């Protein structure tokens, strides 16, 4: 009887450890970080800088911008300037993220007080191994944009390059 109880306890412990270890950052995620916007007011001059490393030249990478906004955000979209620099690379472009639909319903995940968005901006991008800096700035008509809580990035390893 004690042997069966021991086996059941060990099996349950192994399953629990497997669940806990599976709750971390997915293995294909190379970088994921959010930075807080002071006083939830994002100024033009307050570009957020993120550093990440590409270490595998045999895969493409997918790049997403994350936002957390308050329910008091005044617009249905946000325009950003995205720039990735490093290792003889300079990718700069304007990016639009839709925040709400035509009826005013939030398109992100979460409650009315905090809505989270994750927008893919570069899909299946090939970069050489090295360290890169990704800068994201708001590019709206308001010099100081209220209602933005956090800005972030996510870099994921994509398909193998054939």
In a domain, 85, yes or no: yes
Instruction: Tally the domains of the chain.
Output: 1
Cα–Cα separations (whole angstroms), residue 29 to 3, 13, 84? 41, 27, 17
In a domain, 131, yes or no: yes
Task: Tell me the residue range of the domain where 93 lies.
Answer: 29-160
pTM of the complete model: 0.80
Helix, coil or strand: residue 134: strand
Residue 113, classified by CB atoms within 10 Å of its CB into exposed (0-12), middle (13-18) or buried (19+), is exposed
In a domain, 139, yes or no: yes
**Residue-level pLDDT at 28:** 83
Average pLDDT over residues 132-144: 97
> Residue 153 belongs to a domain with what CATH number?
2.60.120
In a domain, 9, yes or no: no
In a domain, 39, yes or no: yes
Average pLDDT over residues 4-16: 42
**Residue-level pLDDT at 26:** 56
Residue predicted with more confidence, 5 or 136? 136
């Amino acid at each position: 009887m004690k042997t069966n109880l021991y086996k059941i306890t060990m099996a349950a412990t192994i399953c629990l450890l497997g669940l806990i270890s599976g709750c971390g950052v997915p293995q294909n995620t190379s970088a994921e970080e959010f930075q807080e916007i002071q006083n939830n007011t994002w100024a033009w001059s307050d570009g957020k800088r993120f550093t990440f490393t590409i270490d595998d030249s045999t895969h493409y990478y997918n790049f997403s911008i994350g936002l957390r906004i308050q329910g008091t955000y005044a617009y249905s979209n946000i325009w950003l300037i995205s720039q990735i620099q490093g290792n003889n690379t300079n990718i700069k472009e304007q990016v639009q993220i839709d925040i709400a639909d035509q009826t005013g319903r939030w398109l992100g995940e979460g409650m009315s007080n905090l809505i989270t968005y994750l927008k893919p901006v570069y899909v299946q991008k090939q970069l050489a191994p090295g360290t890169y800096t990704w800068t994201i700035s708001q590019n709206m008509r308001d010099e100081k944009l209220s209602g933005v809580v956090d800005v972030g990035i996510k870099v994921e390893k994509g398909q193998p390059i054939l």
